[in-house]
Structure 1
Amino acid sequence: MTHRWLDSPTHHAWLTSEALRLLDFARAARLPQGFGNLDDAGRLPRGALAETMNTARMTHSFALAHLQGVPGCKGLVEHGVAALQGPLRDAQQGGWFAHPEGHGGAGKAAYLHAFVALAASSAVVAGVVEAQALLREACEVIEQRFWSEEEGALLESFSRDWQQAEAYRGANSNMHGVEAFLALADVTGDTRWLQRALRMVQRLIMAQAAGDGYRVTEHFDAHWQPLPDYNRDNPADGFRPYGTTPGHGFEWARLLLHLEAALKRAGLPAPDALLVGARGLFDSACRHAWHADGAPGLVYTLDWQNRPVVRERLHWVHAEASATAAALLQRTGDAQYEHWYRCFWGFIAEHFIDRSHGSWHHELDPDNLPGARIWGGKPDLYHALQALLLPRLPLAPSLASALAL
């Protein structure tokens, strides 16, 4: 296989066309207090509320679109920044709620704060002046509340007043911490963010996953002891499922390559274990999750014997798999990653892209028909849009900064 899709103008045109289609669909998510979750037809349900996660992801995504020259997106970025500085922010105690005050739980989660930081950094790159203050505050909250220098990782969550910390450590929040820290390093010029990202990778991948066949352990207690039975009774949880999550294996693999490239770009040592780990994570996720139950696609979760637990296929898993295949192909030139890149996009095009109602189906059932056991509707732009942009960009700097070059 000598011809690479990554070098094909036609493939690039297809990626661009699909990204524009997704962006048009997502514009309808705007609410007075931020961005909400769209249903299958691209409508906001009656009584829809803004969410910090979706508002931050949409703000980041529309910033990427504005940087590409897509008209009408800067106003959406400004709207997202205003929401994150207003109704979604805790003006008394600091930090961010999951929903506007008075709706839902009032805890403060590292996962959400990582996305606020990512959104703020992208909005700054996109030229939104008000985002500078948002970025400063996000960095301060992460440094003062979530970053543990002793543990070399993010603490998971706190009560609204920051007095009660959750006795849990999670790989997912730290993974998105790595993503955010890469962007923060680019926007602030502070390489401490890269060093912190490396410490998270060293703990969760080099020390933990590498010793277990590059399967990512997701759940830990407050002393970083694995919790292999966590959520056994709730295996299909959207954020903390039982067992292993191959989609996160792909996502970690890509982030290791971005971190390697960022460290080199900054003139800092980049351990060989980053590339070794990226290869290992990708291989493990493909080997155990693809066709795991005999049908095409990547299953959501596996047990500790690598047997499928939740057999649904989620769009974000396949988006991350395709983006990681592209990153590994760019980094190594190894033809096996071209094979996987084509394989994943072929599956996405056949099963996930909804040409009738717009966007992508977010979930397929075990028969590869649209489902909603875990993710109802079509709220997520971030994963699919990034998968459409990353193959055409260098591994460093991070997305917004790369688009601004």
Structure 2
Amino acid sequence: MAMPPQLDFRSSAFLSAHLRDTMAFYNPVATDPTGGQFHFFLDDGTVYNTRTRHLVSATRFVVTHAMLYRTTGEARYQAGMRHALQFLRSAFLDPVDRAMGGYAWLIDWQGGRATVQDATRHCYGMAFVMLAYARAFEAGVPEAREWLAQAFDTAEQHFWQPAAGLYADEASPDWQLTSYRGQNANMHACEAMISAFRATGERRYIERAEQLAQGICQRQAALSTAAHAPAAEGWVWEHYHADWSVDWDYNRHDRSNIFRPWGYQIGHQTEWAKLLLQLDALLPADWHLPCAQRLFGAAVERGWDAEHGGLYYGMAPDGSICDDGKYHWVQAESLAAAAVLAVRTGDDRYWQWYDRIWAYCWEHFVDHEHGAWFRILHRDNRNTTREKSNAGKVDYHNMGACYDVLKALEDFPVSCSIC
């Protein structure tokens, strides 16, 4: 797939401009003057649900505004970040359970008041709470360092499983753990710990990130054996029982669950590749790079749609594609991983993957009329939903990919003139 003319996807100017252009879809229409931001948008920017607010979207609005502020220095983005941050703490942090650090998963917001719709405690949500505070601290909110420490302590007290060296996934409002264990919460907790260390320099965060990475990418990935997963040996599976044995059937027949899908997620293999190299830059270990290369290489080899372009969503253990949809976040995390690998190794094959994925996204995912990225496409790249952003999206992954590549390019500038 040829790169569009006069576009250099590797240039800082392009990436910075795309960050601004993507955020322009949300600003100022997303801002709710009564508190926080709206979370549900149609393709043309229409807000189709003004009341429902999701913890993941709330935290990700903090992160995206912090990224824009750090990239541009423009005060309006810091103001948007503070607006999102205040809403996170006033609307989602349980006033009864405040000392225990409990955050609601879903609320109804009306007339300036929050009514909790789902008070389940999710480690996945707590990971993004920590990420939001880490990024806010970096972006000039000094009190966020203490909020980060409090959230970390909450995760350690209620979710941490010392014998497994990983976090449990879900608890009732009074902190009784369910039996489900998942890699996704641990992956995003690792992401949060990397950012927490970058922001504060506190070693406990990066040491926990390394422990999480080892637990998932080495020990748990080793459970994907040739006998059980002939096409995905050593890949990261999503779902586990309470003893961290593999649950091969969890959500097998439910394709509607956006946070816990069945199958090997192509995008999670590449996302781990990116995180391993970001971790390695801060706490080097010999196993990081070869594991990142293996996960990325296998994922793009098996996950790329040679007919229509783009990376598939889900793969079964036997190598068959169990979900052939094209999801925005899979493409975004994969192009970021390709860039980080290219910078680290100097291998031009990774830049070629980066350009290939970006060209595909530019043609099919970027909405050149209204802005931002489409959420999900049919295998043949038709847009099958009018929802541009539902719970959790807010273009966090694609803006984050631009931000990650910009940070990588600070260490190794490159442009197409030297490709």
TM-score > 0.5 by shorter chain = yes
Aligned-partner Cα distance in 1 for 2:104–2:10: 43
Corresponding position: 1:253 with 2:257? no
Corresponding position: 1:72 with 2:76? yes
Aligned-partner Cα distance in 2 for 1:10–1:155: 38
Q: In the alignment, which of 170, 179, 182 is matched to residue 182 of structure 2?
A: 170
Aligned-partner Cα distance in 2 for 1:374–1:305: 32
For the residue of structure 1 that corresponds to 2:369, the secondary structure is: coil
Alpha-carbon offset, residue 18 of structure 1: 1.0
8 A contact 2:69–2:77 mirrored in 1:
yes
For the residue of structure 1 that corresponds to 2:115, the secondary structure is: coil
Aligned to 1:285: 299
Q: Share of identical aligned residues, percent?
A: 32
Aligned to 2:249: 229
Any residues of structure 2 matched to 1:342-381 within 5 Å, and which? 342-372=355-385, 379-381=393-395
Q: Deviation per CA, 1:198-249, whole angstroms, max 9, x where unpaired?
A: 1111121112325643421110001000011111110342111111101000
Residues 306, 194 of structure 1: alpha-carbon distance in 2 compared, 3 angstrom cutoff: same
Aligned to 2:229: none
Q: In the alignment, which of 204, 210, 215 is matched to residue 203 of structure 1?
A: 215
Q: Which amino acid aligns with 1:323?
A: A
Aligned-partner Cα distance in 2 for 1:105–1:158: 12
Any residues of structure 2 matched to 1:282-321 within 5 Å, and which? 282-291=296-305, 294-321=307-334
8 A contact 2:41–2:387 mirrored in 1:
no
Aligned to 1:21: 21
Q: Deviation per CA, 1:294-340, whole angstroms, max 9, x where unpaired?
A: 43111111111111111110011000010000000011001110110
Q: Which amino acid aligns with 1:228?
A: W
For the residue of structure 2 that corresponds to 1:187, the secondary structure is: helix
Any residues of structure 2 matched to 1:105-184 within 5 Å, and which? 105-162=118-175, 164-184=176-196
Q: In the alignment, which of 263, 273, 277 is matched to residue 243 of structure 1?
A: 263
Q: Deviation per CA, 1:376-397, whole angstroms, max 9, x where unpaired?
A: 6594221111111222214999
For the residue of structure 2 that corresponds to 1:34, the secondary structure is: coil
Moved more, 145-154 or 31-40: 31-40
Corresponding position: 1:42 with 2:45? yes
Corresponding position: 1:193 with 2:193? no
Residues 90, 38 of structure 1: alpha-carbon distance in 2 compared, 3 angstrom cutoff: same
Alpha-carbon offset, residue 137 of structure 1: 2.3
Alpha-carbon offset, residue 187 of structure 1: 2.4
Structure with the largest fraction of strand: 2
Q: Which amino acid aligns with 2:105?
A: A
Aligned-partner Cα distance in 2 for 1:396–1:196: 26
Q: Which amino acid aligns with 2:394?
A: D
Aligned to 2:90: 86
Aligned-partner Cα distance in 2 for 1:179–1:232: 27
For the residue of structure 1 that corresponds to 2:92, the secondary structure is: coil
For the residue of structure 2 that corresponds to 1:61, the secondary structure is: helix
8 A contact 1:85–1:134 mirrored in 2:
no
Aligned-partner Cα distance in 2 for 1:370–1:156: 32
Aligned-partner Cα distance in 2 for 1:191–1:127: 21
Q: Number of matched residues?
A: 382
Q: Which amino acid aligns with 1:13?
A: A
Aligned-partner Cα distance in 2 for 1:53–1:215: 26
Aligned to 2:351: 338
Residues 136, 273 of structure 1: alpha-carbon distance in 2 compared, 3 angstrom cutoff: closer
**Structure 1 unaligned blocks of 5 or more:** 1-7, 264-269, 398-405
Aligned-partner Cα distance in 2 for 1:49–1:204: 33
Q: Which amino acid aligns with 1:82?
A: Q
Residues 113, 395 of structure 1: alpha-carbon distance in 2 compared, 3 angstrom cutoff: farther
Aligned-partner Cα distance in 2 for 1:207–1:236: 29
Q: Which amino acid aligns with 2:345?
A: T
For the residue of structure 2 that corresponds to 1:92, the secondary structure is: coil
8 A contact 1:238–1:375 mirrored in 2:
no
Aligned-partner Cα distance in 1 for 2:386–2:252: 17
Corresponding position: 1:97 with 2:104? yes
8 A contact 1:254–1:324 mirrored in 2:
yes
Aligned to 2:415: none
Residues 92, 172 of structure 1: alpha-carbon distance in 2 compared, 3 angstrom cutoff: same
Alpha-carbon offset, residue 64 of structure 1: 1.4
Q: Deviation per CA, 1:13-37, whole angstroms, max 9, x where unpaired?
A: 1111111101111222223342322
Q: Which amino acid aligns with 2:253?
A: D
Residues 133, 272 of structure 1: alpha-carbon distance in 2 compared, 3 angstrom cutoff: closer
Alpha-carbon offset, residue 10 of structure 1: 7.6
8 A contact 1:262–1:396 mirrored in 2:
no
Residues 396, 105 of structure 1: alpha-carbon distance in 2 compared, 3 angstrom cutoff: farther
For the residue of structure 2 that corresponds to 1:38, the secondary structure is: strand
Alpha-carbon offset, residue 357 of structure 1: 1.5
Aligned-partner Cα distance in 1 for 2:262–2:358: 27
Q: CA RMSD in A?
A: 2.2
What is the TM-score when the length of structure 2 is the normalising length?
A: 0.86
Aligned-partner Cα distance in 1 for 2:358–2:246: 34
Aligned-partner Cα distance in 2 for 1:309–1:337: 26
Aligned to 1:390: 404
Moved more, 170-179 or 153-162: 153-162
Alpha-carbon offset, residue 147 of structure 1: 2.2
What is the TM-score when the length of structure 1 is the normalising length?
A: 0.89
Residues 374, 72 of structure 1: alpha-carbon distance in 2 compared, 3 angstrom cutoff: closer
Q: Which amino acid aligns with 2:104?
A: F
